[in-house]
Amino acid sequence: MTQDLLRLSDVTVEFGPPKRPVRVVEGVSFSVGKGESVGLVGESGSGKSVTSLAIMRLIGGRVAKGRIEFEGRNLLDLPASAMPAIRGRDIAMIFQEPMSSLNPLMTVGDQVAEALLLHGWHDRTARRKRTVEMLDLVGIPNAEGRLGAYPHQFSGGMRQRVMIAMAVACEPKLLIADEPTTALDVTIQAQVLDLMKKVRRELGMAILLISHDLGVIADVCERVVVMYAGRVVEEADIRTILTRPQHPYTQGLLRSVPRRSHEAERLYQIPGSVPPAGSIRQGCPFRDRCELAVPRCAEEMPPMFRFGPSQSAACWVTAAAKGASQAGAAA
């Protein structure tokens, strides 16, 4: 079994005043093993990005309860002053829109080198050499000659490559990628995903890939965590998710993926939309969009049920139909 690098346990994130908090993430638990690639998938508003920002301790809200352990150490117990040393060196993050993440007034070379300087690379010659190595690793043509270029002089795909170079320059143990291909065309998406797999292979890092696209997740990840309305509703290895999804929401996401064999058919969409944060006080948050919903779904939030050695899902109906036992319950 892969040893855990990152483990979230019952993480709940709130925004707003403490007396009237709005919970945007509730009871989230999952792990990422050393060298493992895990996908976090769900529609916009499912809580994926908030979860990732909670890991980095960059949210404007607060983690009301739970633990976020990295290499066995609870990051929530650390003083805020300790986090900058961890960000970039141990855990790095890339975002979906590189133009808003890169400083338009700094050259690309200086921005990659700055990440190195913050983590102890004080020798200017060594920083420059490392910067060129990183830009070359991510496929920037004529890497040394582009050190003095500015972000606007790069295409969207090249800017995303620069972001990846900045993130992996200090060889972090975990790379969090938040929708890294959303703003890119399909061809460039494939190149960026191939690059992430190459970087992971060559540097041995773990990846937490956040996306609303199961196709992207399937291309990179070995295991998938499905989120809906701030909760984890299913978790399994990628093959199991694609062939035997148990939660109605996961089934809906898979039905929404375009297929060449269905060109003449209208693309399926899950009816309705993700409920506003904090609006679901009890019951399953997916019930109003679910074709299988029964009265119990409106009364009680289902726990995670075990459907196999590597799969669990939170659904009363599917669990009853297949005789699944509650995850974590005694055999």
| Cα separations in angstroms, 15 against 53, 63, 277, 309 | 13, 9, 10, 36
Those residues with Cβ within 8 angstroms of residue 90's Cβ, 6 or more apart along the chain or in another chain: 70, 71, 172, 173, 174
Q: Which two tokens stand for residue 317?
A: 């109906």
Write the single-letter amino acid at 234: E
Distance between CA 50 and CA 53 in Å, rounded?
A: 5
Whether the predicted pLDDT of 96 surpasses 90: no
Task: Please state whether 215 falls in left (phi above 0), alpha (psi between -120 and 50) or beta.
Answer: alpha
pLDDT in tens, 241-264: 999 999 999 999 998 877 766 555
Q: Do the beta carbons of residue 316 and residue 297 sit within 8 Å?
A: yes
Superfamily of domain 1-90+174-283+303-330: P-loop containing nucleotide triphosphate hydrolases (3.40.50.300)
Q: What is the mean pLDDT of the chain?
A: 90
Residue with token string 């319950």? 329
pTM over 0.85: yes
Quick: pLDDT tens for 2-51. 689 999 999 999 999 888 899 999 999 999 999 999 999 999 889 999 99
Domain coordinates in residue numbering, the chain: 1-90+174-283+303-330, 98-171
Phi/psi of residue 306, each to 5°?
Answer: -90, 125
Q: Considering only CA atoms, which of 258, 267, 301 is closest in space to residue 282?
A: 301
Mean pLDDT to the nearest integer, 179-202: 85
Maximum mean pLDDT: which of 162-176, 253-267, 273-287: 162-176
Mean pLDDT of 178-189: 82
Q: Is the pLDDT of residue 304 over 60?
A: yes
Does the structure show a pLDDT above 50 at 56?
yes
- The mean pLDDT of 281-295, rounded to a whole number, is 92
Cβ atoms of 206 and 175 closer than 8 Å: yes
Q: What is the pLDDT of residue 264?
A: 58
